[in-house]
Amino acid sequence: TTLPVTVNSPAVCPGQSGTLTALGGTTYSWSNGQTTNPITVPSTPASYTVTGTSGGCTGSAVATVTIATAAPVTIAGMLVINVCEETTLTAYPGGNPYIWGPEPCNNCQSITVSPPATKQYYVNYTDANGCNAGDTVTVVVTTLNTYFLPTAFSPNGDGINDEIHFHGRGIDSFTLKIFDRIGEKVFETSDMERGWNGRLLGVPMNDAVFVYVLNIKFCNGEEVRTKGAITLVK
């Protein structure tokens, strides 16, 4: 009588070992010479035949070891930023239980970072087979102190240069003040998103030349104090 022997066929992750477990017999003999049960096999594609014996009956089964690999992971994001800026790093594909480092964030597909200096980040995950995959990127932090303030604008409602805005990179803080020709302050802001629309207390001002005073503090500690002229022309 043939003994009904069965054995599992595992998918083994690279660099790990797999376990073959036979059922149905009392003693076993494997094609690699082992006689224990279960046995451990390397992560190499191969077939193993096991013969089981019980009560004078024998039976055989074949186990096939395959190699399982986790889907590759890629980190995307802006990898060169200016000091004080932030960047969002996103791991692809989505839907995996990602673990980030060195700043931990478990089960996050994306993290937002603002390193003060060039820094390396990594992400890992383990798939259903127990296989690991990951990626590493370096976020390069530069010191690029720039600023720009237009010298003219035209708040006439045509959607072009209707407001005057201050722009810059590497800026920790700033204050922009604008004065009319007799020295009265008509506008002040410390927010790059807030520009001047050429109005004072909601009333449009006439064409004129205004004076601005601009104080800037950059993230690296550098400071700039400057002044100049802005022309309002409709």
| 156 located within any domain | yes
Same structural domain, 228 and 168:
yes
Same structural domain, 163 and 131:
no
pLDDT for the residue numbered 143? 84
Same structural domain, 118 and 174:
no
Same structural domain, 21 and 84:
no
164-217, pLDDT tens digit by residue? Answer: 999 998 899 999 999 999 999 999 999 999 999 999 999 999 999 999 999 999
23-46, pLDDT tens digit by residue? Answer: 999 999 999 999 999 999 999 999
| 226 located within any domain | yes
What is d(CA 157, CA 36) in angstroms, rounded to the nearest whole number? 86
Same structural domain, 138 and 151:
no
pLDDT for the residue numbered 228? 98
Does position 129 have pLDDT exceeding 90, yes or no? no
Last residue within a domain, chosen from 22, 45, 67: 67
| 14 located within any domain | yes
pTM of the complete model: 0.63
Same structural domain, 135 and 153:
no
Same structural domain, 129 and 177:
no
pLDDT for the residue numbered 1? 73
In the chain, how many domains are there?
A: 3
Last residue within a domain, chosen from 142, 167, 198: 142
pLDDT for the residue numbered 105? 94
| 172 located within any domain | yes
What range does the domain containing 165 cover? 146-232
Same structural domain, 150 and 222:
yes
| 79 located within any domain | yes
Same structural domain, 228 and 152:
yes
What is d(CA 47, CA 1) in angstroms, rounded to the nearest whole number? 25
pLDDT for the residue numbered 95? 82
Picking from 166, 174, 185, 183, the residue whose alpha carbon sits closest to that of residue 225 is 174
Same structural domain, 86 and 122:
yes
| 24 located within any domain | yes
pLDDT for the residue numbered 12? 94
CA 148, distance to chain mean position in Å, is 30
3-class SS letters over 147-200: EECCCEECCCCCCCCCCECCEEECEEEEEEEEECCCCCEEEEECCCCCCECCEE
pLDDT for the residue numbered 220? 84
| 211 located within any domain | yes
Q: Predicted confidence band at 127 (pLDDT cuts at 50, 70, 90)?
A: confident
3-class SS letters over 201-227: CCEECCCEEEEEEEEEEECCCCEEEEE
Last residue within a domain, chosen from 48, 67, 86: 67
| 1 located within any domain | no
Q: Which domain CATH number covers 41?
A: 2.60.40.10
